[in-house]
Structure 1
Amino acid sequence: MRHSHIGVTSLQQDAAHASKVTLVGALFDALLGVVKIITGLLGHSAALVADGVHSLSDLATDLVVLISIRLGGRAPDQNHPFGHRRIETLGTMILGLMLLAVAIGLVWQNAFSLWQGQSSTVPTWPVLLVAGLSFGIKEGLYWYTIKTARSLQSELLSANAWHSRSDALSSIVVLLGAGGAMLGVWWLDAVAAMLVAVLIGWISLQLLTGSLAELIDTAVSIEQQQAYRAQILQTQGILAINALRSRTSGGKVLLELKLEVAPRLSASEAHWLGQQVKQQLKKQFTEIGDILVHINSPASTLPEQLTSSSIRPALQQAMETLLQRYQLEAADAEVFLYYQQPIRADILLSSQAQARFAKISTRQLLHQLQHIWPQSRQLQIRFYQLKAD
């Protein structure tokens, strides 16, 4: 319970930090959007108006980010045992679709302006001033947001940071376009607005591609998988990696591992090795979220007439029959099965059973067991602490 409480607190703190950063960005987006549009309209710059629309679109995306962070930061519950981080992924996809719509609208509007021909007005100097101010503010917001995104390992916050940088870069395009139009190249302002739209569209496609890959459980890169494999095999006792499956959720990598260990390890020791692997992976790779480990022993092919569900019950029943012949109980023999090739069965006898079998060789005892259950001839059976042959 204590660990769960700590986890919930950490998620809540991360969500609060991310929300604060997003709210700061939203405040500047609102101010810049209004100032750009008013200045662009009064200063006759379609590029600055387009940039203002871009800034106001950031408000909508900021809202998506805030909602996604709030919902995605919730702890796992009964209905969502793997957590809610995929809500952030969905939020990133919505953000990408909104940006794509803005980009298409800007391209259409300014392509129509170019088709109409030269305008009688040219941009004025306040357009240059506002565009320069916008670049400084939005570039500052990018670094403020990306620093938090990296510390929280949030793909959604990182996407919003790049959204701010796209606004900063588009302000440079506005500076060039408006400046060129003021120097007599009338079409440069409309072309600059279209370049801004293309930049917005490119960023939206990057966001959509990444979030879609996550939603369809795309594996991480081969290079990442090789790094994980190398780290796993450094754990002494892990003989091989039978399978490694990966996917991402809310920017976190989720792993499913099938690890091979020695066939005669106890269940507790095999579990301990799995825990060591998980701890080392999370220590070395901070992007890893949850790890599911399945422990395997070396694979073997079972004889056709022996299924995994019939060996133990049949063998134990045969041993009970054998023990009864010597007035012993089932508790006087414990069976350990090792599914290897051939399948091995170690039978540990109690001190009372050892005393009763003192005058019987292991070969005789094995022969009696095989007579009771003939299929046991396909197993490698050993009795412990019996009289030697």
Structure 2
Amino acid sequence: MTSAAGPDDRGEALRRAVRLEWVTLAFVISAVTLVYLVMGSSQAMRTAWIEDILALVPPVAFLVASRVARKPATANHPFGFHRASAVGHLVAGTALFGVGAFLVYDSAVDLLSGEHPPISTVVVLGQPVWQGWLMVAAMVYTAIVPAVLGRMKLRLAPVVNDKVLYADADMNKADWLTAVAAILGVLGIGVGLWWADAVAALVISTSVLKDGVGNMRGAVRDLMDARATTVDHSEPLPLIRPIEDAVAGPPWVADSHVRVRDMGRAVHVEAFVVPDGGYLPSPEDLAALREHVLDLDEAVIDVVVMPVRELPAPAG
């Protein structure tokens, strides 16, 4: 979310993101079906299949959160439902973490047990074909499409300021690692390296676990009202500086302090202002300052302006 993106740009970006997530769901269902049909007894393929199933969670979380976040505020939810995206982010991260941890354990046990998974020959159109080639073809399919979708979502995530969309895009972009690991595991079995399959499964499950930890950390951070950041948590939200400048702008403001709370795709602003020389701001002064901040960006959904004698103590 930046001041450079206008309401029309953001609205169109959100509509495109929703369409991409529906496309993602359709693709993932096809990928899950295809991998299930060819995975055989390969541990790497089974782990890749489970990861593909997990890939349903972020787009579903995004689509549900998008719908819930539009609901108006109620008596029980006076701040609205904007944090539905943060809840969806946490749900997705928790699912990835839990299954990732199980897959790491399962893969490690298979590796230590020295299990030798066989890959048989199947008949396709009347011709015998080593099943490993079918597995490789399926993995190529599951690598190319997510990489393209991920790059498209990465361009949209900062515009709509949605961390669930960014997390989904980041996972999609990295899906090639899963595919490459599974392909190497299958080919390793083909040349007699029985351990290659279990090692590939361990690499894939570690990637799932890493995604889960990262998403859980980011979601909990936002739900605990940490400082608002960009979707990748790499820097403070660019909108904070214009808000701070706007609050400090009126001539009757001697000093000010701003708190910006990340509500998902929207932000809530608390502005503490120390009037200059004992000046008593009128309701009109406070209303004008509030409206000025609200007009900075459509993402600013609420502003509280509080005149104080001294600013709150800075955070330690």
Check whether TM > 0.5: yes
**Residue correspondence of structure 1 range 79-228 to structure 2 within 5 A:** 79-119=76-116, 121-122=118-119, 124-220=132-228, 224=236, 227=241
The 2-side partners of 1:223 and 1:239 are apart by 28
Q: Is the 8 A contact 2:35 2:49 kept in 1?
A: yes
In the TM superposition, residue 26 of structure 1 has moved relative to its aligned partner by: 0.7
Q: What are the Cα deviations for residues 236-274 of structure 1, in whole angstroms up to 9, with x where unaligned?
A: 515443432232211433221112333346515632652
Corresponding position of 2:20: 21
Return the letter of the residue paired with 1:205: V
Q: Deviations over 1:136-192 (max 9, x none)?
A: 011112123333333322222222222323433311222333333433332122111
What is the rounded CA distance, in whole Å, between the counterparts of 1:230 and 1:215 in structure 2?
Answer: 23
Larger Cα-atom Rg: 1
Which of 262, 269, 284 is the aligned partner of 1:248?
Answer: 262
Whole-angstrom CA distance in 1 between matches of 2:223 and 2:281? 38
CA distance in structure 2 between the partners assigned to 1:223 and 1:99 by the alignment? 25
Q: Is the 8 A contact 1:241 1:257 kept in 2?
A: no
TM-score normalised by length of structure 2:
0.77
Pair 1:50 & 2:47 matched: yes
Assess, with a 3 A threshold, how the Cα gap between structure 1 residues 120 and 36 changes in structure 2: closer, same or farther.
Answer: closer
Identity of aligned residues (%): 20
* Structure 1 contact 99–204 (Cα < 8 Å) conserved: yes
Residue of structure 2 aligned with 1:267, choices 270, 282, 297? 282
Kindly indicate whether the alpha-carbon contact (under 8 Å) linking 1:166 and 1:200 is maintained by their aligned counterparts in 2: no
Shift of 1:32: 0.5
Of the two structures, which has the highest relative contact order with CA contacts closer than 8 Å and spacing of 6 or more? 2
Q: 1:193 to 1:296 in 2, by over 3 A?
A: same
4+ residue runs over 6 A deviation: 9-15
Shift of 1:196: 0.9
Alignment RMSD, CA only?
Answer: 3.4
Q: TM-score, normalised by structure 1?
A: 0.64
1:35 match:
34
Query: Relative to 1, partners in 2 of residues 1:21 and 1:77: Cα closer, same or farther, differing over 3 Å?
Result: farther
CA change 1:233–1:216 in 2 (3 A) is closer
Corresponding position: 1:77 with 2:74: yes
DSSP 3-state at the match of 1:199: helix
Read off the aligned partner of 1:20 and give its amino acid letter: R
Residues 288-335 of structure 1 show CA distances to partners (whole Å, capped at 9, x for unaligned) of: 543322234689xxxxxxxxxxxxxxxxxxxxxxxxxxxxxxxxxxxx
Offset, 1:80: 2.4
Per-residue CA shift, 1:72-109, capped at 9, x if unaligned? Answer: 22233343232201122111111111111221222222
| Most deviating of 194-203 and 229-238 | 229-238
- Partner-residue secondary structure (3-state), 2:236: helix
Q: When the two structures are aligned, how many residues end up with a matched partner?
A: 287
Contact 2:243–2:293 under 8 Å retained in 1 = no
Structure 1 residue runs of 5 or longer lacking an equivalent are 1-6, 300-389
Gaps of 5+ in 2: 1-6, 120-130, 312-316
